[in-house]
Structure 1
Amino acid sequence: MFEMSTAWWEIPARAATIYLVLLVLMRVSGKRTVGQFTPFDLLVVMLLSESVSAGLSGEEHSVTGGLLGAFTLIGLNVLVAIASSRSVRLQHIVEGDPVLIGRDGRIYADTLKKNHVPLLDVERALREADCDLKDMKYAFLEADGGISVLKDSTGAVKPE
């Protein structure tokens, strides 16, 4: 139960490799947060978890091996969080940057498509900000997947 059948260092090496690859894949996949997952997104995450589980442990089925993998993943997550909180450059690499998706009452459809953001999400963000499209000064897709809307506070009429 506690006796490992593989070398002790193999599980942390596997966990670190899979963690780094998944981190890159998650960054490449887009800016959707867990709260914004569609059922399809949730299914992909569940299948992703299942697909890498054997790779994490190899053929190790001991409690010790499972705990070693868990400690490695959590430790890496803490290290990345600490490092990115101290380095702006690393923070931009790991978390990403906000993207301007609209300005002065105009939504950039090509930017929405590029970032896989449905127009319905922007419309919801406008409603949540109690802002009509004509009153929108800026709309940003934040690094965490949320949408921020800034109203035009001048009250000036925009040219058509």
Structure 2
Amino acid sequence: MLNSWDSIQHTLIVGTLGYIATIILLRVSGKRTLSKWNAFDFVITIAFGSILASMMLSKDTSLVQGVLAIGLLVLFQFIITWISVRSNIFQGWIKAEPTLLLFKGELQHHAMRHQRVAEGEVLAALRTNGMAALEDAEAVILETDGSFSAIKKLKDSSASALADVKGYPKQSTARI
């Protein structure tokens, strides 16, 4: 009975302090740590949860070890994002490119298969953005975080925001 109360006390104390330390470290590290997820951010976030759970439930992981581990992850993420903002090559290694799934009302089936996106997901993206027909869209893009962007048909506007989208014709970024 005493051992179970010991475990409960450990979980309460270390869990609370670990949670507070995690929040402080995430807050200090800036908005980028909690931004929309790409694969890199997903791994970091899952690791945060795993470390916090180990701190709370395992007496073999001390509070200091857990906070140090979370601090290291925050530091590594800061370094990697700092480098990726300054190096397009490095950014390409850790972040996927946005991909064109629909162009000028036509589904890009090869890109959809490659990205494992169903036609219904593209149609849902159009509807979410107030478009009722494929022909109403200039483009639907699968973004680096897995979300969809739908762009209404362009009239007299350049498409400069689409310049980094895989599959978007580069000549189309000029004035139409």
> One fold, TM greater than 0.5?
yes
User: TM-score w.r.t. structure 2 length?
Assistant: 0.51
Amino acid at match of 1:150: I
Cα offset for 1:60?
4.8
Give 1:76's aligned residue: 76
Give 2:136's aligned residue: 135
Ranges in structure 1 where 5+ consecutive residues have no aligned partner: 2-25, 28-32, 35-44, 156-160
Distance 2:109 2:68 in 1: 46
Distance 1:110 1:122 in 2: 14
Identical columns (%): 22
User: TM-score w.r.t. structure 1 length?
Assistant: 0.55
Q: SS of the residue aligned with 2:117?
A: coil
Q: SS of the residue aligned with 2:150?
A: strand
Q: SS of the residue aligned with 2:146?
A: coil
Distance 2:154 2:96 in 1: 28
Amino acid at match of 2:87: S
Ranges in structure 2 where 5+ consecutive residues have no aligned partner: 1-9, 11-38, 157-176
Cα offset for 1:92?
2.2
Q: SS of the residue aligned with 1:117?
A: coil
Runs of 4+ residues over 6 Å off in structure 1: none
Judged with a 3 Å threshold, the aligned counterparts in structure 2 of structure 1 residues 66 and 153 are, in CA distance, closer, same or farther, namely: closer
Give 2:146's aligned residue: 145
Distance 2:78 2:119 in 1: 35
The alignment's C-alpha RMSD in Å is: 3.3
Count the aligned residue pairs: 110
Q: SS of the residue aligned with 2:102?
A: strand
